[in-house]
Amino acid sequence: MGDSQMAGFGFEGAVRRKLLLGCVAAAAVMVAPGVALAADDLADVKAALARNHAVAVKRLQDWIALPSIAAENRAGKEGADRMAQLARDAGFQHVEVVPTAGMPGVFATLDAGAPKTLGVYFMYDVKQFDPKEWSSPPLEARLIDKPGLGKIVMGRGAVNQKGPEATFLAALHAMKDAGRKLPVNLVLVAEGEEEIGSTHFGEIVNRADILAALKKTEGILLPSASQDTTGGVSVELGAKGIAELELVSSGAKWGRGPRQDLHSSYKAAVDSPVWRLVEALQTLVTPDGNKPAVDGWYEHVKPLTMRQKELIAQSIQVRSEKAEMEEMGISHWIDDLPFGKAMERLAAEPTINIEGLVAGYTGPGGKTILPGRAVAKLDLRLVPNMTAADARPALRAHLAARGFGDVEVNMSGGYDPTETAEDAPVVRAQQAVLTRANVSYSLYPRSAGSWPGYVFTGEPLRVGAGQFGLGYGSGAHAPDEFYIIEASNPKVAGLDGATKSYVEFLYSLA
């Protein structure tokens, strides 16, 4: 993935919630599966939470004050060291910083002598920020009363993902303080490059001993503030993969047209790399721009199952098509599909999207040049069983077969689709917690957004992975990012409620 500027799953995750906002806002409470819950009411844990509240908040604030930003090569060592210390403090017995070719990661294990083991994924890096755009200093993590929401902590990383992660750690502290042994063992893997596409995360996960430890887990938990403002939760069973790349047409590579920009009057005698890009592009999709037309693109596409369609059909029964379209700023789905079919298409179809076009003069007005270079920035959404690694060769072969072999296909990043079975332990544990907490939730088969769950759900690990945690926050990648500490809406969990949700998750899984 190299120097990718691609947003990591933090961004995609933030959008994911928005993508599904409508579906959870009014979702019916699903029937709870038969997963065992903690046999007690956790009174001692709740007491510990209350006692430790201030410490837990302070822990998060201190963490926010140390921003690690891979894109700026900022505070990698300090970030990994802090991550390791946080793990030690929470009770992990084996904790080590794992060097990579990029920012270091952390591997830690907590042996509770339990029969089952849970994998946990953390990111300690955050997105870049510009303090000028913030209403409160982004590293001060101030506690602020936000009308309609409650007491929040505002700062970079508050919701993406230090807030939920610190909440998970608070759960471990509370258990310890209550004198309880964890009901499951833990394996923690943390990285510092999530925001640049998890470039070197594979080096961590695939180290033999780490891989072996992860293989013993029941699945992977990614702490996440999963509630929406009404308290609803969408339990996702998968997400599309993504490949992000640039198509570059240039006189230099082509050997025709100008090597640099030329005065446009020459067009009558000189070929245009821009027109060449336009011609190459239009071969990639159907004339309506809605279906990839790249040779072999659908070879590995797995259609939705009846169950997946059923889950989508269930979800739309309690969603407002009108509200979702308004929020998206659209008036029609593709081909004027009805809502249900559009949502099936959203989950099922791979895409070739142009996220940016850049050629020649891009400022106001015009400038009479024949550009020597033209670039299309593409993002391709991949569905099971497509792989990100296949995308570039397929595009290259398709273009070469049509005489566009000189058009460069430069991949900046990507990852495979991810799927977790409905009966995976991490999914069943989530449902149990939600049911017990009387939280409205829906199962959703596949997010159209992307996150690199394939690292866990794909080869060689093949374990389930799920983002979970009560609580709410917003502003990932944006100014004024925040995470709720005390919610004014009783249906939304604050820090202590979210912490308790992790305790219950551990018991459910056990």
Q: Map the footprint of a second copy across residues 365-384, applying CB under 8 A.
A: 365-372, 374, 377, 379, 381
CB of 66 to a second copy, least distance (A): 25
Residue 32 binding a second copy, by CB under 8 A: no
Residue 276 binding a second copy, by CB under 8 A: yes
Give the orientation angle of helix 306-317 with respect to helix 339-348, to 10 degrees.
130
Nearer Cβ to a second copy (179/287): 287
CB of 266 to a second copy, least distance (A): 6
Residue pair 371/254 in contact (Cβ under 8 Å)? The answer is no
Nearer Cβ to a second copy (19/433): 19
Residue 290 binding a second copy, by CB under 8 A: yes
Query: Binding a second copy by CB under 8 A: which of 91, 177, 275, 320?
Result: 275
SS (H, E, C) 210-260: HHHHHHCCCCEEEECCCECCCCCEEEECEEEEEEEEEEEEEHHHHCCCCCC
Fill in the amino acid letter for 375.
Answer: V
Query: Binding a second copy by CB under 8 A: which of 125, 191, 349, 496?
Result: 349
- 481 DSSP assignment: -
CB of 200 to a second copy, least distance (A): 17
| DSSP-derived 3-state class of residue 149 | coil
CB of 428 to a second copy, least distance (A): 27
Positions in 77-136 near a second copy (CB under 8 A)? none
Pattern 445-474, a second copy, x by CB under 8 A: --xxxx------------------------
Size of residue set near a second copy by CB under 8 A: 93
Nearer Cβ to a second copy (290/305): 290
Cβ–Cβ contacts within 10 Å for residue 349, how many? 18
Beta bridge partner(s), residue 153: 143, 483
CB of 52 to a second copy, least distance (A): 37
Positions in 399-428 near a second copy (CB under 8 A)? 412-413
Angstrom distances, CA of residue 207 to CA of 107, 199, 202, 204: 10, 15, 8, 6
Residue 268 binding a second copy, by CB under 8 A: yes
Q: What is the CA radius of gyration of the chain?
A: 24
Near a second copy by CB under 8 A, which window of 142-150, 331-339, 463-471, 501-509? 331-339
Angstrom distances, CA of residue 44 to CA of 60, 117, 199, 233: 23, 23, 42, 27
Nearer Cβ to a second copy (148/365): 365
Residue 330 binding a second copy, by CB under 8 A: yes
Task: At 344, list the tokens.
Answer: 């099936």
Nearer Cβ to a second copy (23/281): 281
Query: Binding a second copy by CB under 8 A: which of 94, 176, 207, 345?
Result: 345
Measure the CA–CA gap between 345 and 343, rounded to whole angstroms. 5
Beta bridge partner(s), residue 98: 105
Residue 271 binding a second copy, by CB under 8 A: yes
257 φ/ψ angles, rounded to the nearest 5 degrees:
70, 175
CB of 476 to a second copy, least distance (A): 12
CB of 69 to a second copy, least distance (A): 15
Nearer Cβ to a second copy (12/486): 12
Query: Binding a second copy by CB under 8 A: which of 28, 328, 389, 401?
Result: 328
Near a second copy by CB under 8 A, which window of 183-191, 274-282, 314-322, 429-437? 274-282
Residue pair 104/97 in contact (Cβ under 8 Å)? The answer is yes
Residue 143 binding a second copy, by CB under 8 A: no
Residue 171 binding a second copy, by CB under 8 A: no
Nearer Cβ to a second copy (206/290): 290
Nearer Cβ to a second copy (77/266): 266
Nearer Cβ to a second copy (155/292): 292
Rounded (5°) CA angle 234-240-244: 135
Residue 6 binding a second copy, by CB under 8 A: yes
Residue pair 259/281 in contact (Cβ under 8 Å)? The answer is no
Residue 478 binding a second copy, by CB under 8 A: no
Nearer Cβ to a second copy (69/429): 69
Residue pair 242/382 in contact (Cβ under 8 Å)? The answer is yes
Measure the CA–CA gap between 180 and 59, rounded to whole angstroms. 21
Burial level of 437, CB count in 10 A (0-12/13-18/19+)? middle
Query: Binding a second copy by CB under 8 A: which of 114, 262, 301, 478?
Result: 262
Positions in 200-259 near a second copy (CB under 8 A)? 240, 242, 244, 246, 251, 255-259
Angstrom distances, CA of residue 48 to CA of 53, 170, 396, 487: 8, 10, 59, 19
CB of 324 to a second copy, least distance (A): 10
Near a second copy by CB under 8 A, which window of 36-44, 215-223, 269-277, 389-397? 269-277
SS (H, E, C) 378-446: EEEEECCCCCHHHHHHHHHHHHHHCCCCCCEEEEEEEECCEECCCCCHHHHHHHHHHHHCCCCEEEECC
Q: Is the bond leading into 161 cis (omega within 30 degrees of zero)?
A: yes
Distance of CA 451 to the CA centre of its chain: 4
Nearer Cβ to a second copy (275/298): 275
Measure the CA–CA gap between 27 and 443, rounded to whole angstroms. 10
Cβ–Cβ contacts within 10 Å for residue 84, how many? 23
CA atoms within 13 Å, Cβ hemisphere of 381: 21
